[in-house]
Amino acid sequence: MIIIAPDSFKGTMSAVEVCEIVKNEFLKIKPDLDVRCLPIADGGEGTVDVLLFNGGEKINVTVKDPYFEDVESFFGVLPDSTAVIEMAAASGLPLVGENKNPLLTTTYGTGQLIRAALDNGCRKILIGIGGSATNDGGIGCVAALGAKFLDENSNEVTLNGAGLADICKIDLTGLDERLSGTKIKVLCDVVSPLYGQNGAAYVFAPQKGADENTVIKLDNGLRNLADVTKITIGMDNSSLEGAGAAGGLGFALVSFLGGELVKGAPTVLRAMGFDKLAESAELVITGEGCFDEQSLLGKAPSCVAEMSGDTKVIAVAGCCRTDLPENSKIKRVYVTDKEGKSFEELKKTCFDDLRKTAETMVKDYFEGKF
């Protein structure tokens, strides 16, 4: 058995597309070969499709986008009734285009996705929180599930980054009761705390449209949220690694919904049964768009390699910017872009480039070269 388990080639090919191209090259030579596709993701865009690849259902639902406008979104339900949610499908950067402003954007739609999963009977939820357009500390998400964030006059604050500074009290009495019997795992590879120089606002808000003054406002707001939350629940989760992910959504999911922050790629792999399949595989093929030092130190390819046991692992990538150390579990990297093409060129040729590289890789496999 051969397992193909790549991440997406960001901006050019999805993990599913990479799997299919490589698989087809193997089957051209040996149609009866047992080739398993296990495309992977780390909690960002594409996580739902990856986890549904080998079974499950995608459910469409209308929720609020980052600016409280209706948007068509979705979540997945696996065969064991586990819901899979991408926060980016409701509260992500692609939904705001050039209109970026983390003072005004909300995670309310993400909370609506969680509620829809509960309505569907799901009591286990995997939620990927990559790609956010928000810095509201997750208050929009939690409010959509029944909580109230109140100012000094007991009025509800605006459910965005600007509203964080006004929070004086948090009322959790209306929080959806079903959450107490629901297990939530938060797929998160970000290690930032909620606030401070390494926190959500300073590290991530600039790429969401924040200038220097806005960053300071947001950070102060997150500090206020942490203070009021500590009084409310008797616990301070603001320093947790990942609390600052998705503009503080990681903090909210842990503090108010009982969520558990977990590493994205390993959790996705385990959910797909990769670790058990790898035990009986002859070869595992992983990969991603750009293979670099981080690919060996925690990104998806290294997770695949670590979970492959004694099974041989190779990789395919658009480019390779690091040498493999002698003790690397990944024994070889096949590169698809040998000419250093521009990104615009790659978008046109990537599928054919991968097909040609996979053809060479398959030939090497059957000739016993690795």
CATH of domain 47-264: 3.90.1510.10
Fold classification of 2-40+273-366 is: Rossmann fold (3.40.50)
Nearest-angstrom CA–CA distance, 6 and 274: 12
pLDDT at 337: 92
Side chain identity at 234, as an amino acid letter?
G
pLDDT at 368: 87
Instruction: List the chain domain ranges.
Output: 2-40+273-366, 47-264
Distance (Å) of CA 59 to CA 38, 128, 346: 21, 16, 33
Task: State pLDDT tens for residues 253-282.
Answer: 999 999 999 988 888 898 888 989 999 999
Tokens of 244: 């600052």
By C-alpha distance, which of 182, 155, 178, 176 is closest to 166?
Answer: 155
Nearest-angstrom CA–CA distance, 90 and 78: 20
C-beta of residue 126 within 8 angstroms of C-beta of residue 82: yes
Tokens of 273: 């049964």
Residues 6+ away with beta carbon under 8 Å from 224: 164, 165, 167
If 0-12 CB within 10 Å is exposed, 13-18 middle and 19+ buried, where does residue 70 land?
exposed
CB atoms within 10 A of CB 123: 15
pLDDT band at 293 (very low <50, low <70, confident <90, very high): confident
pLDDT at 41: 85
Task: State pLDDT tens for residues 53-100.
Answer: 889 999 999 999 999 999 999 999 999 999 999 999 999 999 999 999
Nearest-angstrom CA–CA distance, 75 and 114: 9
